[in-house]
Structure 1
Amino acid sequence: MSNGQLQLPKTIMPIIIIGIIAIIFLSKSTVTIDAGEAGVLWKRFAGGVVTDEAPLGEGFHIVAPWNEVIVYEVRQQELYEKMKVLSSNGLDILLETSTWYLPKANELGKLHQQIGENYLERIIKPALRSAARSVVGRYTPEQLYSSKRDVIQNEIFEETRIILEDQFIQLNEVLVRDVTLPPTIKDAIERKLKQEQESLEYEFRLVTATKEAEKQIIEAQGKADANRILSASLTDKILQDKGIEATIKLSESTNSKVIVIGSGKDGLPLILGNQ
């Protein structure tokens, strides 16, 4: 002890220095990978990006402090895009899409080495835009607005998937959320669709009326044929017998008073009176 100052033992300082170094070493050597993520290992003195091994999975990992771990999200992600494309006749179409994608976890090393962390901007967006322009350019505004929406959606997905096939990306779906046409074109299409609908309704009513008329003609013809056959089969004797039967039934009625005067046409009696 000199001049009132406390002197530390000579062995303390090396221990403190070693402790500080150990803390720095551990802080640089530990990596925690969260759920839905995976890590690409980059080795400074052993060839750079590791591509022949599986990426680091979720959890706690210890790596050499001179190496680096690049963390990627490997869950499904969504890309919302609004883009202007041209129809087959050169009109501007505003297309809104949602793309579901994720990096292939077992190929993260190659993705990082060949494309990098910004793979969304570098390959997915350009691929989607190229496919959308190619597909939409094959259709008219009328087709885009009405019947071809599902077909266009499937074609954009297939063309985008082909472009990304060797880019270490898994494409799950491309959804066409909305197709916006120029207002004048949209109004013209809606008027045309309305006219077509009215024409179809008129044709339906016309066909229905024609069928009803044909039905009535057939029924009338059937009744006429039945009456003709019945008339041809009736003889004077049959008519006389029927008249007699009817007269007898009428004479037996308690509500009738029978007065026979001479004879009626065809020899049938005349019955008069009623109570």
Structure 2
Amino acid sequence: MPADLNDYFNKKNGSNSGNKNSQPFGNFKAPEFNFKGFGKFAPAIYTAIILILLFVLARPFAIVNSGEMGIKVTTGEFDSKALGPGLHFFIPLFQKIIIVDTKVRQVTYASVEGVNESNLNRGSGVINKSSISVLDSRGLSVSIDVTVQYSLNEAVVPQTIATWNTNWEDKIIDPTVRDVVRSVVGKYTAEELPANRNAIASQINEDIGRIIANLPNKPVTLNSVQLREIVLPAGVKQQIELVQIAKQEAERAAQEAIKKATLAEGEANATIISSKGRADAARIEADAQAYANKEIANSLNNPLLNLKQIEVQGKFNEALKTNTDAKIFLTPGGAVPNIWVDTKDAKQQSAISR
């Protein structure tokens, strides 16, 4: 600091030493700076110091990180070309750079205690909101939990921010999701919602995707829409559970009846098979007997019969040799001769009785 300036502060401090509270400087002693050695370079040094201070305070630069894009605005006009990652400068008071997150973002509508519209974590790309309240087809209130993932279309980021501003999510994603969910779910009664969950999820995904894709310049890319949960009123939930229990009991009874019918049918078939088996066995046995009889009959020819007759006559002749009193009459014919015994003979009767 120049010597005359130092003298000024010293004199000012000395004149006020008797009344410390009357002047704002009090016992302040100005630091002594001696720039005499710089000579003619002193003005340049002052200028440099001032410029550095202004640079630090004004911060006429912005750093764009990976996953972000910068938009330079000059006197309110958005540049059509976005700035990529890196260090970018602008003119204070006339220009500014808006940093926009282009990474995948997520908004979750959930029935979680403590989650509300003000509990937003936008910095991490995750937004939590309360469940979407919907009236079913009968006017009964239900809650729907949904998770939506999306990201900005990098090709049109400046146009998107110029049209929708930095709170584009509240103008594009949120109203679209709420409108679609209420429209789709409102077609069903509360009792029908669990059974039609897959159809509802598919319809919500399709409708949100169609609406987002039809926006001018396609500002947003929709990644996924997930139906997390359908929260029913306690009374409706209990009624559905009772219906499910009754249905399960009916199914169990039907399965038991089918089981018994199958068992009875099996026993009946077994009886039929057994009876048929016995009948087939009897038929086979009869056929075999008939076949045997036929074969026997075919084998009884005249020479064989004559031979049998001769054999029998021979046996009777041998018997008459020892039983001389017997009166036996032989009549030839058939397989064996006919035998007639005279039972009137007393000796013969006695022989027969013995």
Aligned to 2:61: 30
Aligned to 1:40: 71
Counterpart CA distance in 1 for 2:54 and 2:106 is 38
- Of 186, 197, 206, the match for 1:137: 186
TM-score by length of 2: 0.60
Would you say the 8 A contact 1:32–1:59 is kept in 2?
A: yes
Would you say the 8 A contact 2:134–2:185 is kept in 1?
A: yes
Q: Report Cα offsets for 1:171-202 as digits up to 9, x if no partner.
A: 11121222111111110011001111111121
Aligned to 1:60: 87
Counterpart CA distance in 1 for 2:287 and 2:151 is 97
Counterpart CA distance in 2 for 1:18 and 1:72 is 34
Aligned to 1:122: 171
Shift, 1:154, TM fit: 2.1
Counterpart CA distance in 2 for 1:208 and 1:156 is 43
Shift, 1:169, TM fit: 1.2
Aligned to 1:171: 222
- SS of the residue corresponding to residue 203 of structure 1 reads helix
Would you say the 8 A contact 1:85–1:94 is kept in 2?
A: yes
Q: Structure 1 residues 102 and 237 mapped into 2: Cα distance closer, same or farther (>3 Å)? A: closer
Aligned to 1:105: 154
Aligned to 2:103: 75
- SS of the residue corresponding to residue 193 of structure 2 reads helix
Report the identity percentage. 23
Q: Structure 1 residues 237 and 201 mapped into 2: Cα distance closer, same or farther (>3 Å)? A: closer
Matched, 1:230 2:281: yes
Q: Which amino acid aligns with 1:84?
A: S
Would you say the 8 A contact 2:35–2:42 is kept in 1?
A: no
Shift, 1:159, TM fit: 1.6
Structure number with greater CO (CA < 8 Å, separation at least 6) is: 1
Shift, 1:2, TM fit: 7.0
Shift, 1:134, TM fit: 0.3
Shift, 1:13, TM fit: 2.3
Counterpart CA distance in 2 for 1:125 and 1:14 is 56
Aligned to 2:210: 162
Q: Which amino acid aligns with 1:57?
A: G
Equivalent pairs counted in the alignment come to 235
- SS of the residue corresponding to residue 170 of structure 2 reads helix
Counterpart CA distance in 2 for 1:59 and 1:127 is 34
Q: Which amino acid aligns with 2:285?
A: L
- SS of the residue corresponding to residue 103 of structure 2 reads coil
Would you say the 8 A contact 2:133–2:144 is kept in 1?
A: yes
How large is the RMSD of aligned CA atoms in angstroms? 2.7
Q: Report Cα offsets for 1:46-93 as digits up to 9, x if no partner.
A: x71122x2x212222233443211111111111122121011222100
Would you say the 8 A contact 1:30–1:61 is kept in 2?
A: yes
Q: Report Cα offsets for 1:228-274 as digits up to 9, x if no partner.
A: 12112224986xx9xxxxxxxxxxxxxxxxxxxxxxxxxxxxxxxxx
Please tell me whether Structure 1 or Structure 2 has the larger radius of gyration of its CA atoms.
2
- Of 233, 238, 244, the match for 1:182: 233
Shift, 1:11, TM fit: 5.0
Matched, 1:204 2:255: yes
Q: Which amino acid aligns with 1:201?
A: R
Q: Report Cα offsets for 1:118-175 as digits up to 9, x if no partner.
A: 1121221111100010010112222322x32222122212222222221501111121
Aligned to 2:319: none
Q: Which amino acid aligns with 1:71?
A: I
The gaps in structure 1 that reach 5 residues or longer are 242-275
- SS of the residue corresponding to residue 75 of structure 1 reads coil
